[in-house]
């Protein structure tokens, strides 16, 4: 029977991915080739789901929200009754699930795992919104379960009744709910999420309603009343640290948010973010291929980018005609895209290329193989190498040969190289 849960540790507490290393670990786990296949993976607002960590971090940096210590990603799992669903149908349901309105503007990397008896899908969500920089606000898991239930019923699958969901909870969660703390804490978390971005009462009410909560805020009443999706009511006076949730304290939060956001145009910000993201990935892929500074600049120019790399300037500047310049200081990881870091990449690329020439290079894994393909492409362009001319090509699952053939077809049409592909 299908249901959606938030990932938990052994004690029953929700997993909190509050460091970069934890976020990278879980993303690597979700896309582990021993657990899933490429056709069972997907993503929203991502150029490549398998590069989700870099894209998540780039979004966080662009909005100034890459600090550790706070939740950096959310981890949800959609599971199905053994034997009831195929991997392909689970992927189709996942594709529909991430299109729901609550996920609008959030990057999600997901994959269907088939390594266990029951097929299940992992969803990793970046907690910073690509379009406006807002943090993830949905505190009530029941909203996601309702969406999942509706999609599963649509495809003729059984769902887990709410009472069975309750039975599946850990002892720690059941104790918390018996003591009346769980739903109250979730209510306060929902309020915190809305207060982080709302600029006025209207936005605050809308954000709370989006999470499934009703708000009664009237001048004749001293306290604000919140009603959760189950109909349970709670006033702001019983929040933890209630002084931070008085009407005046919340109005002050609205004023602070307004001052912070008033100079930002959402459409311009979104367009700028997309351009800077594109620039980062062009630079990253060219840097993984070039063997010198001169070659790097030449390849960037082939991708319609100008490059200013001067010894008397600390940063490298990239720009397209009609766009604002982007500096390497905004790329992640920062140390890899400094002048020194790029020069080190070029040196490693040249060493690998020399080993390819001598027939002594052998790829150890898929990631290394993909980098090697790009080097081989470059080598074939520069020196006119024949297809399958080098030892690393002999056991390549036909990947490199197809890439070279595709590139030649594109060149014949007058197109440039598609580095991301």
For residues 106 and 208, give the distance between their C-alpha atoms in angstroms, rounded to a whole number: 18
d(C-alpha 19, C-alpha 67), whole Å: 8
d(CA 20, CA 61): 12
Mean pLDDT on 359-379: 56
Containing 107, the helix (H) or strand (E) segment is: none
Q: pLDDT tens for residues 92-141? A: 999 999 998 889 889 999 999 998 888 999 999 999 988 888 888 765 67
Report residue 199's pLDDT band, with 50, 70 and 90 as the boundaries: confident
The phi and psi torsions of 236 (rounded to 5 degrees) equal -65, -15
- Mean pLDDT over 239-245 rounds to 86
pLDDT-above-70 percentage for the chain: 75
pLDDT digits (tens, 9 = 90+) for 289-335: 889 999 999 989 988 899 999 988 889 999 998 888 888 887 767 78
Calculate mean pLDDT across residues 203-218.
85
15-24, 333-342, 407-416, range with greatest mean pLDDT: 15-24
CA distance 80 to 90: 8
DSSP-assigned beta bridge partners for residue 215: 226
Q: What is the pLDDT of residue 104?
A: 87
pLDDT above 90 (res 174) = no
Residue 420, pLDDT > 50, answer: no
Q: How far apart are CA 299 and CA 286, in angstroms?
A: 7
Torsion of CA 52, 54, 57, 59, to 10 degrees: -70
What percent of the chain is predicted at pLDDT more than 90? 33
In which band, very low, low, confident or very high, does the pLDDT at 387 lie, cut at 50, 70 and 90? very low
Q: What is the mean pLDDT of residues 144-156?
A: 92
- pLDDT at position 395 over 50: no
Helix (H) and strand (E) counts in the chain: 14, 11
* Domain spans, the chain: 3-178, 182-261, 266-412
Q: Is residue 94 within 8 Å of residue 42, measured between CB atoms?
A: yes
Banded pLDDT at 385 (limits 50, 70, 90): very low
Report yes or no: 115 and 176 within 8 Å, Cβ to Cβ. Answer: no
Q: Give the integer Cα–Cα distance in Å for 145 and 159.
A: 10
pLDDT recorded at residue 421? 38
Nearest to 211 by CA among 222, 233, 226: 226
**Average pLDDT of 387-403?**
40
**The CATH number fitting domain 3-178, selected from 3.30.930, 1.10.1660, 1.20.140, 3.30.1370:** 3.30.930
What integer is the mean pLDDT of 21-37? Answer: 93
pTM reported for the whole predicted model? 0.52
72 or 416: which carries more pLDDT confidence?
72
pLDDT value for 284: 86
2 — pLDDT class (breaks 50, 70, 90): confident
Give me the DSSP letters along 306-365: EEE--TTSSS-EEE-TTS--EEGGGSSSGGGGSHHHHHHHHHHHHHHHHHHHHT-----S
Any idea which of 13-22, 146-155, 374-383 has the lowest mean pLDDT?
Answer: 374-383
pLDDT attached to residue 264? 52
pLDDT averaged over every residue in the chain: 79
Report whether the peptide linkage leading into residue 333 is cis, meaning its omega lies within 30 degrees of zero: yes
Which residues does residue 413 pair with via DSSP β-bridges, in sequence order? none
Average pLDDT over residues 72-99: 94
Whether 273 has a pLDDT exceeding 50, the answer reads: yes
Q: Please provide residue 145's backbone torsions phi and psi, each rounded to the nearest 5 degrees.
A: -65, -40
Q: Which of 39-53, 290-304, 364-378, 385-399 has the lowest mean pLDDT?
A: 385-399
Q: Which residue has the higher pLDDT, 178 or 46?
A: 46
């Amino acid at each position: 029977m299908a249901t959606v849960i938030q990932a938990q540790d052994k004690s029953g507490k929700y997993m909190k991915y509050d460091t970069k290393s934890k976020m990278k670990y879980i993303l690597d786990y979700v896309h582990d080739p021993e657990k899933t296949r490429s056709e069972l993976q997907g993503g929203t607002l991502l150029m490549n789901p398998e590069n989700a960590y870099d894209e998540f971090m780039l979004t966080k940096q662009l909005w100034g929200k890459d600090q550790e210590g706070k939740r950096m990603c959310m981890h949800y799992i959609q599971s199905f009754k053994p034997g009831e669903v195929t991997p392909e149908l689970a992927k189709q349901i996942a594709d529909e699930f991430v299109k729901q309105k609550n996920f609008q503007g959030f990057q999600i990397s997901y994959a269907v795992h088939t390594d266990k008896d029951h097929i299940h899908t992992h969803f990793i969500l970046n907690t910073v919104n690509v379009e406006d920089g807002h943090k993830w606000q949905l505190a009530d898991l029941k909203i996601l379960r309702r969406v999942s239930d509706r999609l599963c019923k649509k495809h003729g699958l059984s769902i887990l009744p709410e009472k069975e969901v309750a039975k599946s909870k850990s002892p720690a969660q059941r104790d918390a709910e018996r003591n009346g703390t769980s739903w109250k804490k979730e209510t306060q978390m929902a309020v915190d999420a809305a207060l982080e971005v709302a600029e006025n009462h209207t936005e605050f009410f809308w954000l709370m309603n989006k999470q499934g909560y009703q708000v009664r805020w009237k001048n004749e009443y001293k306290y604000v009343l919140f009603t959760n999706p189950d109909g349970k009511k709670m006033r702001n006076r019983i929040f933890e640290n209630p002084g931070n949730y008085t009407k005046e304290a919340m109005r002050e939060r609205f004023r602070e948010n307004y001052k912070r956001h008033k100079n930002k145009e959402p459409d311009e910000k979104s367009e700028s973010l997309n351009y800077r993201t594109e620039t980062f990935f062009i630079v990253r892929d060219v840097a993984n291929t070039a063997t010198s500074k001169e070659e790097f600049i030449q390849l960037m120019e082939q991708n319609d980018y100008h490059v200013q790399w001067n010894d008397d300037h600390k940063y490298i500047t990239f720009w397209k005609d009609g766009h604002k310049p982007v500096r390497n200081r905004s790329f992640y990881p920062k140390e890899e895209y400094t002048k020194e870091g790029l020069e080190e990449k070029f040196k490693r690329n040249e060493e690998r290329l020399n080993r390819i020439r001598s027939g002594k290079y052998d790829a150890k894994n898929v990631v290394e193989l993909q980098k090697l393909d790009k080097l081989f492409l470059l080598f074939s362009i520069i020196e006119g190498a024949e297809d399958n001319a080098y030892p690393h090509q002999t056991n390549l699952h036909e990947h490199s040969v197809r890439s070279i053939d595709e590139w030649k077809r594109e060149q014949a049409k007058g197109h440039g190289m598609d580095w991301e592909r």
